[in-house]
Structure 1
Amino acid sequence: MLPQTETSGDRVARLERRLQRERRAREEAEWLLEAKSLELYNANSHLTALANDLEMRVLDRTHELEVSRQQALFLAERDPLTTLANRVSFARDLDAAIRTAQAHGGSVQLLFADLDRFKEINDTYGHAVGDAVLLEVASRLSTICRGTEMAGRLGGDEFGVICITPVESERARQIATEIMEAMSKPIDCGRLQLIVSCSVGFANFPRDASDSPTLQRFADVALYHSKSSGRSTWTEFDDTMAAELHSRQGLEVELRAAVAAGEIEPWYQPIISAESNRIVGVEALARWQHAERGLILPGLFIPLAEESSLIVELGRAMIDRCCQEIHPLIRDGRLDYVSINLSPRHLRSPSVVEQVLKILARHDFPPSALQLEITESLLLFDFEQAEQRLSQFRTRGVRIALDDFGAGYSSLSYIRRLPLDVIKIDRSFARDISDDRQSEAVVKAIVQLAQALDLQIVAEGIETESQAERMTSCGCSIQQGYLFGRPMPLNELMRHLKAKGS
């Protein structure tokens, strides 16, 4: 059968169908392309958002790190409480100031200021009040400083001021005077109004020192001079202090050798019972018989030992020698006890109790025959630690005496808490009791306090019969002083006891 011939109409229809298929295919392709484009657009937008978010996070973290770095740099340079320069930054700025002065022919005046008895504020009112005081002191120092002058907190309650001046400037004296005036104004601590005095010492470059370490040491020497002169004053370093410092440094070296060689020896001062006229005990006092300088009294070398921490070794050596020398007198009943001073620094030594107990055991010395004397200055340090150490001594039979009672900052709360056996009344009361009714009344009050707390009373500084009689009439029959004997070496003590019939 022959194929039919396609008509023109069929051909047109066929072409139209083909065109429609192509149009649908193109539309589907365009739709698919648009969908894919939209999908790619959305994906790209999401990636862009993620990238932007990541970038923001990176920027935020970078900012945080920079802030942390700046804070770390600040803390490395500044005191965190007062924001003044800290010790490290202050020392570096002092070096820079000296270089500037060297280059331009000026001078650097360095002041050290130290608050007087600041620890009492912390102990009495708490560290929050102490911090408030430090903040206000820092603010007042910053107000005093002008221009390129800089204040810093060097640690604790010690501050410093650096100023670059012309060579003949009196600026350091002016600053010291302004500090004294500023500290005379009360510090507002909420409900408290506190007046905090301070001591100031200063030195000058290049007049006094040629470098930073020496300048700091000389300013510190001047500060120490202010404190030893009664506090609440300022002192300018001079050549006399330089000579004293050189002498002290030489003496310190000799003292260390003397302690190591056992050249510091105890001298003994009698303690008597006025009722029986018997020597009941002796107080051991350190003496240094120097080969060239002669007899050196403790007022000169004990502070040196305290400053150099040699006092711990010296204290141990004194206790050891006293127990060795006095033991025969205790054993034979010629004395009841020996009283030995224990410095605050020695008491803070972690091994002090163990040290003393070993000494007692080595000499077979009865603990009840050893009396350790502490001073009220001990109360300005770590009272809790002191109370713990003294309690350890007390539980082992060692007697504890509070020396110079009434001369400092006696606190009844401290007296009640401390494990004491004896109160030694300061010699100033004996000096005034003959012609001062107030002193007599105070002594009677102290005796009544001691009796209420079951403590023994010893009166120090008795030099006349009248003083002895007055003290006895006040109820204080255990006495010590030149009237009964000055401090003496062991051989003289033996003769003295024999003369007294002991």
Structure 2
Amino acid sequence: MKNPSDYNKELRKKLIGISENTVRKNYYPELQERIHELELFRALIDYSTDAILLIKMPEAKIVDASASASLQFGIKHSDLTNLLFHYLELIDLSGNLQDVLENPQAISSEGKMIQCYIKKGNQETPLEITFRSVILGASSYLIAISRDITERKLAEERLYRLAHYDTLTGLPNRVLFLEVFRQAILYGVRNKLSHALLFVDLDRFKYINDTLGHAAGDYVLLASARRIKDSLSTGDMCARLSGDEFVVLLNDINDTHDAGAIAQKIIETIAKPFFFEGRELFISGSIGISIFPEDGNDCATLLKQADTAMYHAKEVGKNNYQYFSKSMQKSTIERFELESLLHRAIQTESFFLHYQPRFDLISNKITGMEALIRWNHPEYGLITPGHFIPFAEETGLILPVGEWVLRSACRQNRLWLDQGFSLCVSVNLSAMQFRTDYLVERIQTILKETMLPPENLELEITESAVMNDIKTSIETLKEIHEMGVKLSIDDFGTGYSSLSYLKQFPIDKLKIDRSFIEGINTNEEDSSIVKAVVSLAHSLKMKVVAEGVETKEQLKFLEDCGCEEIQGYLIGHPVPSRIFEELLTFPIQ
């Protein structure tokens, strides 16, 4: 559509020296057509959901506005035009608004975007305004396109809460706790203060959870969280690390014995009966205590010492607390033994892989699988990944272990490809692997060695891994993606991805964590979260994989949401390659 001023110029040229009758006869229909097009152009502006302002410079006076601008700024259209832009009283968050108004000529062709709030009564509405500088005739103008970003801000707040708070108990999670703990240590160093860390583990919780079910287990966790929190003073912090493990940070203690007094208070309140569906349930708490700076001066060390003390409390009878001491070396010795076993397992290639199928809800076929490591020790039997993977990450052994998994999965998938099964194998990358400067080169080497096409490989990376160093992460992900390898964000929602960064990552899929899938048919918050993640992924042109799908009801919900792929016990357990081939030969119905 042409600029209205261009039409006026053309008409003026045609009308000079022409009689009125000639104009009526020859140009009136064209004039009517131009007027109609101008009306359409005006309707296009007025019906835009974004507010559009035309601002005459340098006085910054609003000379025209779309109909939606009146609604967004809460000012009548007649009052809005001829109003100075400053009178909108925007709360500038970017600090660039004044510069835009004073130096409009400095705005690039892409425009200048600012974020601000506008206050209407007691309500503050977040706006994103894009300015562009234009010359119309002999005058200079700014075109301001203002978008209400309330929904986006709410989505970011929800994601922040998901990333920093435990969904069951509402307590801070590990991510937020470590952030606060690091700040407390820095403050303690500067001001020569002492802090205490309490590592709380619920005794007999697994028995209740396994015997009475997850509902009873969740009730006990929630009630325990409240009791622990109520035992603390203002300024102290309680967080849920995982499962039945909680940590408490006591800030600025005067005496180390104060930590023992709080620990005893927590033990006593946890020991009181829980009432669930007419039953009396009893558990106890074992607590380990480490002191800053006596037992360490960083988060990892103090957590480790408190964890060691907690296990010692369990060993001496449970339902008690223990301060860390250097004599508590048994768990440390066991860790050294595990490290030695891991080294030998790597050398002898004692690991093997199981494969869990991924089911495509659109084609109704198995289109991929996740490779999962297993370790069957000749003396100790099957050692679960949950036992040795965290330790491998801590010691750096995850690098050779992770490379073995990637090479083995690619080699096996090449064999299946030769048998006529074109599948995409998914392999988890640890944060440490992702941070190595030779990752891209190593992936290329393995693909070349195994002769697996890049499109038959998918790498899963956690949110926390990619958010650690944004600039480097984007570069690494782009290099991998340009190879043709697919990329997915694993356990989405359990870390923190700023939406502004997430859209910059060349990600193919978001993988929804199983913790949200469990409650989608019974928990309104979980179902809302899953719908929001699916909607977010699709808006960013990404597909969605839901893990931990165990029931047909969950499957139906996910189908209705538009989720593309599922993974979980409903489709198949992780199985050896031989059994997985049978699933391919005799597809799931």
* Helix, strand or coil at the partner of 1:350: coil
Q: Normalised by the size of structure 1, how large is the TM-score? A: 0.57
Q: Identity percentage over the alignment? A: 33
Q: 1:413 to 1:332 in 2, by over 3 A?
A: farther
* Helix, strand or coil at the partner of 1:417: coil
Displacement, 1:257? Answer: 0.9
Q: 1:486 to 1:501 in 2, by over 3 A?
A: closer
Question: 1:221 — aligned with what?
Answer: 304
Answer whether contact 1:370 1:399 (CA < 8 A) is retained: yes
After superposition, give the CA deviation of every residue in 1:189-239 in whole Å (9 maximum; x if it has no partner): xxxxxxxxxx9724999xxxxxx99xxx986731466999xxxxx973279
**In structure 2, how many angstroms separate the alpha carbons of the residues matched to 1:356 and 1:266?**
19
**In structure 2, how many angstroms separate the alpha carbons of the residues matched to 1:429 and 1:359?**
34
Q: Trace 1:200-279 onto structure 2 (pairs within 5 A).
A: 201-202=290-291, 221-223=304-306, 236-237=323-324, 242-279=329-366
Displacement, 1:420? Answer: 0.7
Name the larger-Rg structure. Answer: 1
**In structure 1, how many angstroms separate the alpha carbons of the residues matched to 2:310 and 2:448?**
41
Q: 1:281 to 1:218 in 2, by over 3 A?
A: closer
Segment drifting more, 330-339 vs 239-248: 239-248
Answer whether contact 2:467 2:473 (CA < 8 A) is retained: no
Equivalent residues, number? 327
**In structure 2, how many angstroms separate the alpha carbons of the residues matched to 1:235 and 1:414?**
44
Of residues 397, 412, 416 in structure 2, which corresponds to 1:310?
397
Question: 1:463 — aligned with what?
Answer: 550
* Helix, strand or coil at the partner of 2:503: helix
Q: Trace 1:5-24 onto structure 2 (pairs within 5 A).
A: none
Answer whether contact 1:225 1:235 (CA < 8 A) is retained: no
Answer whether contact 2:367 2:424 (CA < 8 A) is retained: yes
Question: 1:10 — aligned with what?
Answer: none
Displacement, 1:352? Answer: 1.2
Q: Trace 1:3-402 onto structure 2 (pairs within 5 A).
A: 136-142=187-193, 171-174=255-258, 201-202=290-291, 221-223=304-306, 236-237=323-324, 242-379=329-466, 381-402=468-489
Answer whether contact 1:218 1:237 (CA < 8 A) is retained: no
Displacement, 1:139? Answer: 3.8
Question: 1:487 — aligned with what?
Answer: 574
**In structure 1, how many angstroms separate the alpha carbons of the residues matched to 2:408 and 2:347?**
13
Displacement, 1:440? Answer: 1.9
Q: What amino acid maps onto 1:350 in structure 2?
A: D
After superposition, give the CA deviation of every residue in 1:358-402 in whole Å (9 maximum; x if it has no partner): 010111111111111011221452232222211110111111110
Question: 1:84 — aligned with what?
Answer: none
* Helix, strand or coil at the partner of 2:329: helix
Displacement, 1:135? Answer: 5.6
Displacement, 1:284? Answer: 0.6
- State yes or no: 1:429 paired with 2:512: no
CA RMSD of aligned residues (A): 4.0
Answer whether contact 1:315 1:342 (CA < 8 A) is retained: yes
**In structure 1, how many angstroms separate the alpha carbons of the residues matched to 2:453 and 2:369?**
15
Displacement, 1:460? Answer: 0.6
Q: What amino acid maps onto 2:290 in structure 1?
A: G
Point out where structure 2 has 5 or more consecutive residues left out of the alignment.
1-173, 197-250, 263-287, 312-320
Displacement, 1:354? Answer: 0.6
Displacement, 1:438? Answer: 2.7
Q: Normalised by the size of structure 2, how large is the TM-score? A: 0.49
**In structure 1, how many angstroms separate the alpha carbons of the residues matched to 2:457 and 2:435?**
19
Question: 1:167 — aligned with what?
Answer: none
**In structure 2, how many angstroms separate the alpha carbons of the residues matched to 1:227 and 1:401?**
37
**In structure 2, how many angstroms separate the alpha carbons of the residues matched to 1:308 and 1:143?**
29
**In structure 2, how many angstroms separate the alpha carbons of the residues matched to 1:241 and 1:362?**
47
Q: What amino acid maps onto 1:221 in structure 2?
A: K
Answer whether contact 2:368 2:423 (CA < 8 A) is retained: yes
The one of the two structures with greater contact order (alpha-carbon pairs below 8 A, sep at least 6) is 1
Q: What amino acid maps onto 1:222 in structure 2?
A: Q
Q: 1:144 to 1:326 in 2, by over 3 A?
A: closer
**In structure 2, how many angstroms separate the alpha carbons of the residues matched to 1:223 and 1:417?**
40
Point out where structure 1 has 5 or more consecutive residues left out of the alignment.
1-114, 122-129, 146-160, 164-169, 179-198, 206-211, 229-233
Displacement, 1:498? Answer: 1.7
Displacement, 1:242? Answer: 3.3
**In structure 1, how many angstroms separate the alpha carbons of the residues matched to 2:178 and 2:456?**
34
Segment drifting more, 327-336 vs 373-382: 327-336
Q: 1:424 to 1:204 in 2, by over 3 A?
A: closer
Q: What amino acid maps onto 2:256 in structure 1?
A: A
Q: Which has the higher strand share?
A: 2
* Helix, strand or coil at the partner of 2:495: coil
Answer whether contact 1:221 1:241 (CA < 8 A) is retained: no
Answer whether contact 2:195 2:292 (CA < 8 A) is retained: no
Q: 1:347 to 1:258 in 2, by over 3 A?
A: same
Answer whether contact 1:272 1:280 (CA < 8 A) is retained: yes
Answer whether contact 2:259 2:289 (CA < 8 A) is retained: no
Displacement, 1:474? Answer: 1.0
After superposition, give the CA deviation of every residue in 1:394-431 in whole Å (9 maximum; x if it has no partner): 11111111011112324322311222111001112210
Q: 1:226 to 1:448 in 2, by over 3 A?
A: farther
**In structure 1, how many angstroms separate the alpha carbons of the residues matched to 2:462 and 2:512?**
11
Q: What amino acid maps onto 1:390 in structure 2?
A: L
Q: 1:392 to 1:446 in 2, by over 3 A?
A: same
**In structure 2, how many angstroms separate the alpha carbons of the residues matched to 1:470 and 1:376?**
25
Q: 1:394 to 1:144 in 2, by over 3 A?
A: closer
**In structure 1, how many angstroms separate the alpha carbons of the residues matched to 2:413 and 2:507?**
23
* Helix, strand or coil at the partner of 1:400: strand
**In structure 2, how many angstroms separate the alpha carbons of the residues matched to 1:336 and 1:329?**
8
